[in-house]
Chain A
Amino acid sequence: MKKEELTNLVKDVVRDNQDMSLSFVAITVLTDVIKRSTSKTMMELDTELKLAVQDLKSCVKEEIEGTDTYRGSSITLHSGCELFTRFVTRQFLEMKEFGAIKSKLTEKGQYISKLSALSREKVTELFEPFFRDNMCVMVVGNSRVATATLIRASRSGKRFSVIIPESRPDVEGYKSARHLRDAGIPVTLIVDSAVAYHMGKVDFVLSGAEAVVESGGIINKIGTYQIAVLAHVHKKSFYVAAESFKFVRQYPLNQNDISGDDHYEHINPPPYTFIDDGQIKDGHDVSDEQERRQLGGIKVSNPTSDFTPPRYITLLFTDLGILTPSAISDELIKLYS
């Protein structure tokens, strides 16, 4: 498939599935590549697929990343590609007849795509019994699966309140706050520096994940790590809701080990001037240009993601079940061996 063709395909998939993760996009696109492929041998198909993965990654970097729909690191995309190519190679080894392989792969790809929608359902279902009335939950960032979990619990009649840090620099917290408010859940928005202040009254912390790594730790929106550490110090449970397609074969030991080029070069101005009587007023109107001039000569480090080590995570809710961090590696060994 040509690159332009692929780019169009990616854009289509993204437009049609606004609420799905990049991993889903990757699998859908790669399945389509196989479906349309004219290759006659496994070798050809394999090369074609590898090329498609490369194109896909660069295309996402150019076109999708940084748009409203997809922020943060592209690690979910990598995990989706990795999972799919791994599956393809295994099919190559298992089956002999090329035609059969091709149809099997297409079938399986469509199945996986369907599965990712189902798995979110499964995660929210598993999480439901963990809510009790009068609970106070802190939510990290704007995770689709975490928001879905909260909304489901609320619909089932649990009365609880939610605290959301604004989650700078791209203030995703606002988005989830609006989302939850619309679902009728009492929401409090706080600044990131007030997390410790509020941690004492929180019952548990709920986070999503961009990726779940082999040690059972997670890679997620910047700020997750510090909230996890604070929860740990306050002896509060730190729960992660993540579908199993977010599992990646990576093993970071510290923050340097996750891709280091995912840095913004500047910090966006805050979208409000002050918080008064619980009201947020828009109005800060400084252009990036002005901001940068003001910060001239000062180095800015503004990473997009951080790594939370497994020792700060209490449980992970996945479509494979409720897992402790140490069970993640067991599942990954099963998935890839």
Chain B
Amino acid sequence: MTKEERKALYSKQVDNKKTSGNTPHVPSTGQQPRKQSIKSDQAPTPSVAQTKNQEAKQQPSKHQDGKQQQPKLQNQKQLGQKNKVEPTESTKQNRLFSHLDKYVHPDNRINTAINDPKLHPIIVQLGLQYATGAIRGGNARTLALLIALKQVTSDYVQLDTEIMNRDFGNKIVPMIDYLKQFRPLSVGMGNALRHIKQKIFKLNPDLSANENKNKLVEDIDIFIKERITVAAEQIVNNGVARITNGDVIMTYARSEVIEKILTRAHCDGGKRFRVIIVDSRPKNEGRELLNRLLIAGVDCTYVYINAVSHVMKEVTKVMIGANSMLSNGSVYSRIGTAPVCMMANSYNVPVLVCCETYKFSEGTQLDSITRNELGDPHEMCTIERNHMKPVLMGHESNPNIHVLNLTYDVTDMQFVDMVITEVGSIPPTSVAVIVREYRQK
């Protein structure tokens, strides 16, 4: 883009802003259409609606005139239909990350879905819990989903003309789509759903609906037990065995299974070790872990990620949880994990990843850009939750600031020494083998 083109583009943007009322800056490129279903649920601002209706990839600025005219017309149409207003912070996006679903604050997700006959009330509730962060963490989210599906299954009413294995499969599709609006499904949730869908498909049409429903509920229970609860227990046992007296364990943010390992090793295992919790803004999830470990009586040090190189010298092992393991051996986990692992590697400290096999993904990812989740940019612009003092006042309307709050990052295999799973400890190169073994089953 030449300087002239940029200028032209900017003036056009300013014009757009004037014509569309008070809404601030309209991003110029790279907005992707959102899923249709969102549109009907909530009230978009002009700018949001515009971006939603735009072509997947916008052409260079030369062609923009024609392109922007069309969506604007649609905006007005939609404005006529809906008159709620959404805040504007999510309308701007870093161009590199424009392919990701934009963050929308849960308060603005007031939707009409509550009366949607296609959605079971427990699903509606679950969606809101995901959105507000009331349920978070890989295992908790997957468990909540499976428990909700159990409820949906037992409340399913089969009409005489329908066959359960096909009809029920179709019935849960809109529910999953609805949940996806609030947060993308994690790899573990995806795997669990795939498993359940297979079970639904295999239901015996000759049996009565009640028998089938019981069978399905039982299948879900088996999955929960085998792949999540017992698996976690086994990982904890394997993890505890890895901790020896005199260890200094570093962990990052908060992982449920790591918390269990550390408390178990301290309380039941009677091992003498110290924990360094590395944490980072804006989520500060490590504080929760810190609280719990302190209650258990574990000797803890709490540092921010800025200090990781300073404390790494004394660390003997780094133990982290993972959102998922990718089949190229990479770890997909809370953002900040990669720098901690890389720092550990440069100090020759072994990195142990704890991950259940149901979170193993068949996909691969080389960077943290292609797939990720955008968080609330507001979190980064306030110093403390309770003060809520904005430090980047008016950043929404400043076209030159892009606030990027990524949720996950990818740690390359070379920085990981061991993956602790319920089937034993494996090197990251063997993730693909486990994935293959389970697919064959």
B429 at the interface (CB under 8 A from A): yes
Bound state CA distance, A336 and B424, in angstroms? 10
Which residues from B are CB-within-8-Å of A326?
Answer: 427, 429-430
Which residues from B are CB-within-8-Å of A336?
Answer: 424
Minimum distance in angstroms from A5 CB to a CB of chain B: 35
A333 at the interface (CB under 8 A from B): yes
Check A254 against B350 for contact (C-beta < 8 Å). yes
Check A214 against B350 for contact (C-beta < 8 Å). no
What mask results when residues 410 to 433 of chain B are scored 1 for a CB within 8 Å of chain A, else 0?
000000011000011111011001
Give how many B residues have a beta carbon under 8 Å from the other chain's beta carbons: 16
Which residues from B are CB-within-8-Å of A214?
Answer: 424-427
Which of A216, A256, A333 is close to B433, meaning CB atoms less than 8 Å apart? Answer: A333
Which of A249, A256, A329 is close to B427, meaning CB atoms less than 8 Å apart? Answer: A329
B437 at the interface (CB under 8 A from A): yes
Which residues from B are CB-within-8-Å of A216?
Answer: 427
Query: Given A215-B418, A251-B418: A337 and B430 within 8 A (CB)?
Result: no
Query: Given A214-B425, A333-B437, A337-B423: A253 and B430 within 8 A (CB)?
Result: no
Which residues from B are CB-within-8-Å of A251?
Answer: 418, 425
Bound state CA distance, A291 and B429, in angstroms? 48
Check B350 against A310 for contact (C-beta < 8 Å). no
Which residues from A are CB-within-8-Å of B317?
Answer: 253
Interface centre among A329, A333, A336 (most CB of B within 10 A): A329
Query: Given A215-B418, A253-B418, A337-B423: A329 and B429 within 8 A (CB)?
Result: yes
B185 at the interface (CB under 8 A from A): no
Bound state CA distance, A310 and B430, in angstroms? 14
- Which chain B residue has the least Cβ–Cβ distance from A337? B437
Minimum distance in angstroms from B440 CB to a CB of chain A: 11
Check B433 against A330 for contact (C-beta < 8 Å). yes
Which residues from B are CB-within-8-Å of A337?
Answer: 423, 437
- Which chain A residue has the least Cβ–Cβ distance from B425? A251
B434 at the interface (CB under 8 A from A): yes
What mask results when residues 235 to 267 of chain A are scored 1 for a CB within 8 Å of chain B, else 0?
000000000000001010110100000000000
What mask results when residues 300 to 337 of chain A are scored 1 for a CB within 8 Å of chain B, else 0?
00000000001000000000000000100110010011
What number of A-B contacts does a CB cutoff of 8 Å give?
38
Minimum distance in angstroms from A59 CB to a CB of chain B: 27
Minimum distance in angstroms from A213 CB to a CB of chain B: 10
Interface centre among A249, A310, A333 (most CB of B within 10 A): A333
Interface residues of A in 207-230 (CB under 8 A from B): 214-216
Which residues from A are CB-within-8-Å of B364?
Answer: none
B154 at the interface (CB under 8 A from A): no
Which residues from A are CB-within-8-Å of B244?
Answer: 256
- Which chain A residue has the least Cβ–Cβ distance from B431? A329
What mask results when residues 211 to 247 of chain B are scored 1 for a CB within 8 Å of chain A, else 0?
0000000000000000000000000000000001000
Minimum distance in angstroms from A144 CB to a CB of chain B: 28
Which of B352, B417, B426, B437 is close to A329, meaning CB atoms less than 8 Å apart? Answer: B426
Which residues from B are CB-within-8-Å of A330?
Answer: 430, 433
Bound state CA distance, A76 and B290, in angstroms? 42
Check B427 against A333 for contact (C-beta < 8 Å). no
Minimum distance in angstroms from B173 CB to a CB of chain A: 34
Bound state CA distance, A253 and B350, in angstroms? 7
- Which chain B residue has the least Cβ–Cβ distance from A331? B433
Which residues from B are CB-within-8-Å of A215?
Answer: 417-418, 427
Check A249 against B350 for contact (C-beta < 8 Å). no
Check A329 against B433 for contact (C-beta < 8 Å). yes
- Which chain A residue has the least Cβ–Cβ distance from B434? A333
Which residues from B are CB-within-8-Å of A256?
Answer: 244
What mask results when residues 330 to 364 of chain B are scored 1 for a CB within 8 Å of chain A, else 0?
00000000000000000000101000000000000
Bound state CA distance, A256 and B429, in angstroms? 23
Which residues from A are CB-within-8-Å of B426?
Answer: 214, 329, 333
Bound state CA distance, A253 and B316, in angstroms? 11
Bound state CA distance, A65 and B423, in angstroms? 33
Interface residues of B in 381-432 (CB under 8 A from A): 417-418, 423-427, 429-430
- Which chain A residue has the least Cβ–Cβ distance from B242? A253
Bound state CA distance, A326 and B430, in angstroms? 7
Bound state CA distance, A177 and B430, in angstroms? 38
Bound state CA distance, A259 and B429, in angstroms? 25
Which of B352, B417, B418, B430 is close to A333, meaning CB atoms less than 8 Å apart? Answer: B430
Minimum distance in angstroms from A161 CB to a CB of chain B: 35
Bound state CA distance, A216 and B424, in angstroms? 15
Minimum distance in angstroms from B227 CB to a CB of chain A: 16
Minimum distance in angstroms from B133 CB to a CB of chain A: 35
Check A253 against B429 for contact (C-beta < 8 Å). no
Which residues from A are CB-within-8-Å of B434?
Answer: 333
- Which chain B residue has the least Cβ–Cβ distance from A256? B244
Which residues from A are CB-within-8-Å of B350?
Answer: 253-254
Which residues from A are CB-within-8-Å of B430?
Answer: 326, 329-330, 333
Interface centre among B350, B418, B430, B437 (most CB of A within 10 A): B430
Which residues from A are CB-within-8-Å of B423?
Answer: 333, 337
Query: Given A333-B434, A333-B437: A249 and B418 within 8 A (CB)?
Result: no
Bound state CA distance, A214 and B425, in angstroms? 8
Interface residues of B in 244-286 (CB under 8 A from A): 244
Which residues from B are CB-within-8-Å of A333?
Answer: 423, 426, 430, 433-434, 437
Bound state CA distance, A256 and B317, in angstroms? 12
Minimum distance in angstroms from B191 CB to a CB of chain A: 19
- Which chain A residue has the least Cβ–Cβ distance from B238? A251
Check B417 against A253 for contact (C-beta < 8 Å). yes
Interface residues of A in 178-206 (CB under 8 A from B): none
- Which chain A residue has the least Cβ–Cβ distance from B414? A311
- Which chain A residue has the least Cβ–Cβ distance from B244? A256
CB-CB nearest 7 A-B residue pairs: A326-B429, A329-B430, A253-B350, A251-B425, A330-B433, A215-B427, A329-B427
| New A-B contacts (16) at CB < 8 Å, excluding given A251-B418, A253-B352, A253-B417 | A214-B424, A214-B427, A215-B427, A254-B350, A256-B244, A310-B427, A326-B427, A329-B427, A329-B429, A330-B430, A330-B433, A333-B423, A333-B433, A333-B437, A337-B423, A337-B437
Task: Provide 16 A-B residue pairs closer than 8 Å at the C-beta atoms, listed in order of the A residue.
Answer: A214-B424, A214-B425, A214-B426, A215-B427, A216-B427, A253-B317, A253-B352, A253-B418, A326-B427, A329-B426, A329-B427, A329-B429, A329-B430, A333-B423, A333-B426, A337-B437
Binding site for B on A (CB under 8 A): 214-216, 249, 251, 253-254, 256, 310, 326, 329-330, 333, 336-337
